[in-house]
Chains A and B, each alone.
Chain A
Amino acid sequence: MANRASALDTMPVSPLAQQTRGCLSVVAGATLVFLYLPIVFLVLFSIEPADTPGFPITGITLHWYEKMLADSAIHSALFNSVVVAVVVALIATTIGTMAAFPLVRGGIRFPGAARILFTLPIMIPGVLIGLGLLVFITLLGIKLGLHTVIAGHLVFTTPFVVLIVAARLQGFDRRLEWAAADLGASNRQTLRHIVLPLIAPAIIAGALLSVTLSIDEFVVTFFTIGPQLTLPLYIITQIKFGVTPEVNALATVILVVTLTVFGVGSVLLGTGRRFRRKDAA
């Protein structure tokens, strides 16, 4: 990249280039502020003592966090969310990883159609997925509950796992497998000892992503849940009663947890990249 920069310096540039660059940096800075300001305020209002969050900030308290921790409605909502997320992650990661292999390496009859099928749930608004499932469930006469939420979450988390694992498989150096086969390993042994360990970071990242997507999902859950509550649904019922600092405290905790999981996931994906076939890029 050093080359490109120095080439730029010596080339004729518009007399306005300097000003353009200045303007752009202001726009970029403002954009970042725009991205983070709401989150900053969200967190700020969770440590504000007043009953209705807002300015001016009158002090710092952890009262709302204590209240949140003691709230049994939050406990059961959290429990439901975690149960759903774990089951969804396990199933989505398993079937998503499996599906990624034939998608990348061939063997299915209509690869184009398969690819479309696995990207559609990412592109289609959650309202359609949710309502579709709801009418289907109603027609079958199945009772709504956490199991139907799990079904709904599987639809949009599995494609993410497929995409992530497929991206890693795409860059996978197949000569490693051929070497293993040359040395007498069976297909199963190659998969177990060569392929899976090397794409493990992508699989784990996919699982973590499924967890965060599932825990945060509101729209599909909204359509497919029975009498129970998950965290986002609990939050929306609270917001409808009026903005409470307890929700801000809960939101802050969810943000921190999501970011941690996300951070672990991206570090893993970064590690995964090291095993990519260099000359294939």
Chain B
Amino acid sequence: MTADTASAADVAPLAGPRPGLRRRLERAAPFLPGLAMLTLLFVIPMFIMLAFSFWKTNSSFDLVRDWNLNNYARFFNQPTYIRTFAKTLVMASAVTAAGLAISLPFTYFLVRYVSRRFQRAVLLAVIVPFWTSYLLRVYAWQAILGEKGALNQFLMATGIIQQPSTLFVYNDLAVFVVLIYVYFPFAALALYAALEKFDFTQLNAAQDLGARPDQAFRHILLPQIRTGIITACIFVFIPILGEFLTPTLVGGASGSLIANLIVNFTRQGQFPEGAALAIVIAVFVTILLVVFRRSLRVEDVVARG
């Protein structure tokens, strides 16, 4: 179709003069059920959680609406909480860094050296585990790291160890590995979307003009895939702030993260204390989302069917 015919057809039939308010309402109406649902089930609960975090439970675990900052004071005064929170941040950062370190070469190879048709297949192979049950993906690791797991059997078969080791599971390292596994697809999808738009001949041009490969990579490639990198980081870092299943299943007693504390409080009916910790996480998440909002490409990761 030529440009001329397209522009001619682009002129919409006139709807006629319509009163503005009615028309506006008509156009916005389909939005209202969704808005009402999210307001009722998401926005209001978040504010109520905020209110809860300033209340307290008495000795018989009844809720007392007595506004105070004790829950937060306790968080900042108890070394265990601060330590767990710091550990969560370190873990989230480490997993994010490792996830990038794995997914960047992976997607780079995929986009640059794999044929278009095959790229789709590999990408699908990455997405598929992403859409399968998160619980099952964590559970599957017990088959590898556990006492009778594949890793032990392999090491015993090769004679590296004589007895099955219990060192591979129920510690921070296991949590680290499994979290990389769980969140890798997010990072890969975000980076793929960014790299796909990159013209790799620019790297050759840079080298032609005398740049070393690492310089070309740093000054030409990295700035252009910045949004992809940031999206990848956000999509890995934020969910880990709320992780409690992976630490529960493969972290053992010492592997707890901040969300495990929330779950413990909730189990004991101490909602205000749990809510305060949740608000601390929510504040972190909000800051990250606000700071990086312009670089965040949610569609790149989740709307790729």
The 8 Å CB contact of A121, one of B38, B200, B293, is B38
Q: Is the CB of B105 within 8 A of A24?
A: yes
Those of B262-289 within 8 Å (CB) of chain A: 262-263, 266, 271, 274-275, 278, 281-282, 285, 289
Q: Which chain A residues in 34-79 approach chain B with CB under 8 Å?
A: 34-39, 41-42, 44-45, 52-56
Query: Number of B residues whose C-beta is below 8 Å from A?
Result: 102
Distance A35 CA – B230 CA, assembled complex (angstroms): 22
CA distance A106 to B38 in the complex (A): 19
A125 and B42 contact, Cβ closer than 8 Å, known pairs A54-B148, A106-B27, A131-B275 = no
Verify if B222 is at the interface (C-beta below 8 Å from A). Answer: no
> Within 8 Å CB of A39, what residues of B?
129, 132, 137, 140
For B281, list chain A residues within 8 Å (CB).
Answer: 125, 127-128
Q: Are A135 and B52 in contact (CB under 8 A)?
A: yes
Cβ of B9 under 8 Å from chain A = yes
The complex places the Cα of A121 from the Cα of B39 at a distance, in Å, of 11
Quick one: which of B45, B124, B144, B245 contacts A135, CB cutoff 8 A? Answer: B45
Query: Which of the listed residues B13, B31, B103, B204 has the most CB atoms from chain A within 10 Å of its own CB?
Result: B31
Tell me if B81 is interfacial: C-beta within 8 Å of chain A.
Answer: no
Asked whether any CB of chain B lies closer than 8 Å to the CB of A120, the reply is yes
A126-B242, A232-B133 known; A108 and B305 CB under 8 Å?
Answer: no
Which of A127, A174, A218, A262 is the most central at the interface, judged by chain B CB atoms within 10 Å of its CB? A127
Of A25, A44, A121, A268, the contact of B113 (CB 8 Å cutoff): A25
Tell me which residues across on chain A come within 8 A of B49, comparing CB atoms: 128, 131-132, 135-136
Shortest beta-carbon distance from B168 to chain A in Å:
13
Report B-chain residues with C-beta under 8 Å of the C-beta of A182. Answer: 13
Give the distance in Å from the alpha carbon of A31 to the alpha carbon of B241 in the complex.
24
- Which residue of A has the minimal Cβ distance to B34? A99
Query: A79 vs B67: C-alpha distance in the bound complex, in angstroms?
Result: 43
Question: With a CB–CB cut-off of 8 A, which chain B residues contact A126?
Answer: 242
Contacts of B125 in A (CB 8 A): 32, 35-36
Instruction: Tell me whether A145 is interfacial, beta carbon within 8 Å.
Output: no
A101 touching B30 in the complex, CB below 8 Å, given contacts A163-B299, A218-B135: yes
Q: Considering the chains assembled together, what is the distance between the CA atoms of A126 and B42 in angstroms?
A: 11
Counting residue pairs across A and B whose Cβ atoms lie within 8 Å, the total is 296
Contact yes or no, B305 A266, CB < 8 A: yes
Q: Does B303 contact A (CB under 8 A)?
A: yes
Of A12, A114, A232, which is within 8 A of B204 by CB?
Answer: A12
**Residues in chain B near residue A55, CB distance under 8 A:** 148-150, 152-153
* A38-B140 contact in complex given A135-B45, A155-B38, C-beta closer than 8 Å: yes
- Closest residue to B9 on the A side, CB-wise? A175
Say yes or no: B181 contacts A34, CB within 8 Å: yes
Q: In the bound complex, do residue A127 and residue B181 qualify as a contact, i.e. CB atoms below 8 Å apart? A: no
Assess whether A235 is interfacial by the CB under 8 Å rule.
yes
Bound: A42/B138 CA distance, A = 10
Kindly state whether residue B234 has any CB partner on chain A within 8 Å: yes
User: Contacts A95-B37, A135-B45 given: A108-B28 contact, CB under 8 Å?
Assistant: yes
Q: What distance in Å separates the Cβ of B260 from its nearest Cβ neighbour in chain A?
A: 10
Q: Check B42 against A28 for contact (C-beta < 8 Å).
A: no
Chain A residues closer than 8 Å to B213, beta-carbon distance: 14, 16-17, 20
| CB within 8 Å for A127 and B278 given contacts A42-B140, A216-B134, A218-B245 | yes
Whether the Cβ atoms of B140 and A174 lie closer than 8 Å is no
B271 with A117: CB separation less than 8 A? no
**Distance, CA A23 to CA B112, complexed state (A):** 14
- Cβ-based interface call for B79 (8 A): no
| Cross-chain contact A107 with B139 (CB below 8 angstroms) | no
Contact of B109 among A27, A37, A136 (CB under 8 A): A27
Q: Which residue of A103, A131, A254 contacts B133 across the interface (Cβ within 8 Å)?
A: A254
If A16-B213, A121-B38, A259-B132 touch, whether A37 touches B144 (CB-CB below 8 Å) is yes
Residue numbers in A under 8 Å from B41 (CB-CB): 133, 151-152, 154-155
Residue in B108, B129, B140, B153 whose beta carbon sits within 8 Å of that of A24 in the complex: B108
Min CB gap A236→B, angstroms? 7
Proximity string of chain A (232-261) to chain B, C-beta cutoff 8 Å, 1 when within and 0 when not = 100110010001000110010011001100
Nearest chain B CB to A92's CB is how many angstroms away?
9
Instruction: Give the complex CA separation of A151 and B262 in angstroms.
Output: 21
Contact with B along A145-172 (1 / 0, CB 8 A): 0000001101100101011100100000
- 22 CB-based A-B contacts, threshold 8 Å: A8-B200, A13-B207, A20-B213, A36-B125, A38-B144, A98-B31, A107-B27, A114-B35, A118-B38, A123-B235, A127-B281, A128-B285, A136-B48, A155-B41, A158-B34, A158-B37, A181-B13, A219-B244, A235-B136, A251-B136, A255-B133, A262-B132
Point out residues on A near B: beta carbons under 8 Å: 1, 4, 7-8, 11-14, 16-17, 20-21, 23-25, 27-28, 31-32, 34-39, 41-42, 44-45, 52-56, 91, 94-96, 98-99, 101-103, 105-109, 114, 116-129, 131-136, 138-139, 151-152, 154-155, 158, 160, 162-164, 167, 174-175, 178, 181-182, 205, 209, 212, 215-216, 218-219, 222-223, 232, 235-236, 239, 243, 247-248, 251, 254-255, 258-259, 262, 265-266, 268-270, 279
Known: A7-B201, A127-B278, A266-B305. 6 other contacts (CB 8 A): A116-B293, A136-B48, A152-B41, A232-B135, A262-B131, A262-B132
